[in-house]
């Protein structure tokens, strides 16, 4: 289970992960795509220099490689550490599962990551200092290392949605590591990998437009025209292949998770969009806009393409990336690891045990013996249950606020709602995206009392009594 001592007011701990992750993905996937962009562009530049006597591309690529080094090696690395910090506090059980099951994969990824950091530094600092052919080889080494980091990370991330029947069959037995390759090459591994490769290529072109847009079109029209058009072309394969890859990915997603998308599509006429459907529409609209802007403002008028235009394209890419990552997270609901662990850290096989013994009795972060710290009232026990079972997705007054969602309900109505979550019947409208409320009947009553006190605050005298009890 989670250890809910990390309470982030208003936005919730989940969005701390989300904000860091979206920023990190924009950079880390650029690190992969840009790793291919640089040696391919350098090879093209060397050929142009030999054939036409032009060295302007090489000078521009040296400048772009500095931008690439600072962005990926500094901001990418720091945001990666931020992700580990935030997921370790928000989802310690899920993080522990990923570490223990994929310890060999993480070790390999860190080795390739160190190769990345080393080679990109060597690549930048050896411009015009070593033989051009050797310098190009350094670029290819970086490109290979970055691709391998993507190959490894993709297996771990796709596992969280579709761990596969083979791994689920041994989960909890201590033999999970014996099914490492089954978990790694899970049902959504390949479509996810190709999708991410497309995104990496697109981001390579989009980020390159940032540096290309700063070339003076009046003084160097030929250079700016060729660099801008070359960068725009990196978007083409992605937007041609993505629709087909999305269909493939969608076909591999479990039917229970696909229902979150089809629910929104089926009810579009009535305006009842599911969150996943909304994010899918954002991806489609922003991607189409990127194509439009890149073609008409960049490819058709490269010398007039300025930094403001490039930043607009980058902002659209950020929106598409954010929507894509949010959709991927939402598709896993009500799990954080498909069919094995709910989004609040409760393992699926543990539900019956917790329902029999009580939630707090199975929580390592609550003092269960005699002495200071033991919950003594319905209110305080309910607060502890809220932090453990609800706090990973909901806040009281900010993101997905329970005070607002339960507004207008009295004690009995809130109790019926919690009971419905506890029973988790097949026809429950919340079953698709919310984990069951686990615990005893007393736990249900305690959580009801706590939430009722938040939604329907007691009068001053009663509030003082509750505070004293707590």
Mean pLDDT by 10 residues, the chain (470 residues): 73 92 96 97 91 84 97 96 92 92 95 97 97 97 98 97 96 93 97 96 97 96 96 92 91 83 51 66 91 95 96 96 89 93 95 95 67 65 91 91 94 97 92 93 96 86 51
Looking at the structure, do residues 336 and 359 belong to the same domain, yes or no?
no
What six digits make up the tokens of 21?
């992750």
Distance CA 138, CA 254 (A): 42
Per the CB < 8 A criterion, the answer to whether 15 and 358 are in contact is no
Looking at the structure, do residues 190 and 219 belong to the same domain, yes or no?
yes
**Which structural domain range is residue 388 located in?**
352-469
Looking at the structure, do residues 142 and 102 belong to the same domain, yes or no?
yes
What pLDDT is stored for residue 419 in this prediction?
Answer: 97
Rounded (5°) CA angle 261-263-268 = 100
With b for 16 or more beta-carbon neighbours within 10 A and e for fewer, the 173-207 pattern comes to eeebeebbebbbebbbbbbbbbbbbbbbbbbbbbb
What pLDDT is stored for residue 433 in this prediction?
Answer: 86
Count other Cβ atoms within 10 Å, centred on residue 169: 11
Tell me if 298 is assigned to some domain: yes
**Strand pairing partners for 341?**
337, 347
Looking at the structure, do residues 73 and 107 belong to the same domain, yes or no?
yes
Q: Which domain CATH number covers 461?
A: 1.10.760
- Which uninterrupted H or E stretch holds 404? helix 402-405
Distance CA 382, CA 374 (A): 12
What pLDDT is stored for residue 423 in this prediction?
Answer: 97
What pLDDT is stored for residue 377 in this prediction?
Answer: 78
Distance CA 464, CA 415 (A): 23
E-only strand ranges, 135-220: none
Rounded to two decimals, the pTM is: 0.91
Per the CB < 8 A criterion, the answer to whether 357 and 320 are in contact is no
Task: Count the domains in the chain.
Answer: 2
Tell me if 3 is assigned to some domain: no
Looking at the structure, do residues 213 and 359 belong to the same domain, yes or no?
no
What pLDDT is stored for residue 51 in this prediction?
Answer: 79
């Amino acid at each position: 289970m989670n250890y809910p001592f990390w309470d982030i007011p208003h936005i919730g701990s989940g969005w701390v992960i989300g904000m860091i992750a979206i920023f990190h993905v924009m950079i880390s996937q650029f690190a992969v795509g840009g790793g291919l962009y640089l040696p391919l562009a350098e090879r093209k530049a060397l050929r142009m220099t030999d054939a036409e006597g032009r060295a302007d591309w090489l000078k521009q690529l040296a400048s772009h490689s500095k931008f690439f080094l600072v962005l990926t090696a500094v901001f990418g690395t720091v945001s990666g550490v931020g992700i580990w910090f935030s997921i370790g506090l928000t989802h310690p059980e899920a993080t522990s599962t990923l570490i223990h099951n994929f310890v060999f994969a993480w070790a390999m990824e860190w080795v390739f990551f160190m190769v990345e950091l080393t080679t990109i530094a060597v690549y930048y600092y050896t411009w015009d200092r070593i033989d051009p052919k050797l310098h190009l080889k350094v670029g290819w080494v970086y490109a290979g290392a970055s691709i391998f980091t993507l190959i490894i990370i993709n297996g771990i991330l796709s596992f969280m949605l579709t761990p596969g029947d083979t791994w689920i069959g041994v989960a909890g037995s201590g033999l999970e590591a014996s099914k490492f390759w089954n978990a790694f090459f899970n049902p959504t591994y390949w479509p996810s990998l190709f999708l991410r490769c497309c995104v990496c290529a697109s981001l390579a072109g989009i980020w390159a437009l940032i540096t290309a847009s700063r070339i003076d079109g009046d003084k160097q029209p030929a250079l700016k025209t060729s660099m801008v058009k070359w960068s725009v072309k990196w978007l083409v394969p992605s937007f041609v292949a993505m629709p087909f890859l999305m269909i493939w990915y969608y076909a591999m997603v479990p039917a229970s998770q696909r229902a979150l998308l089809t629910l929104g599509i089926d009810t579009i006429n009535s305006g009842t969009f599911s969150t996943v459907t909304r994010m899918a529409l954002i991806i489609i609209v922003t991607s189409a806009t990127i194509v439009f802007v890149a073609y008409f403002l960049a490819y058709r008028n490269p010398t007039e393409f300025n930094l403001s235009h490039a930043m607009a394209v980058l902002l659209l890419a950020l929106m598409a990336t954010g929507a894509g990552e949010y959709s991927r997270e939402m598709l896993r609901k009500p799990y954080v690891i498909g069919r094995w662990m709910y989004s609040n850290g409760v393992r699926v096989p543990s539900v019956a045990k917790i329902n029999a013994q009580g939630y707090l009795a199975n929580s390592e972060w609550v003092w269960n013996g005699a002495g200071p710290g033991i919950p003594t009232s319905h209110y305080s026990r309910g607060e502890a249950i809220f932090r453990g079972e609800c706090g990973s997705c909901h806040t009281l007054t900010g993101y997905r606020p329970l005070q607002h969602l339960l507004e207008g309900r009295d004690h009995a109505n809130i109790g019926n709602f919690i009971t419905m979550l506890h029973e988790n019947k097949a026809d429950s409208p919340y079953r698709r995206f919310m984990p069951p409320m686990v615990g005893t009947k007393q736990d249900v009553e305690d959580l009801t009392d706590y939430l009722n006190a938040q939604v329907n605050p007691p009068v001053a005298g009663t509030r003082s009594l509750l505070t004293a009890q707590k």
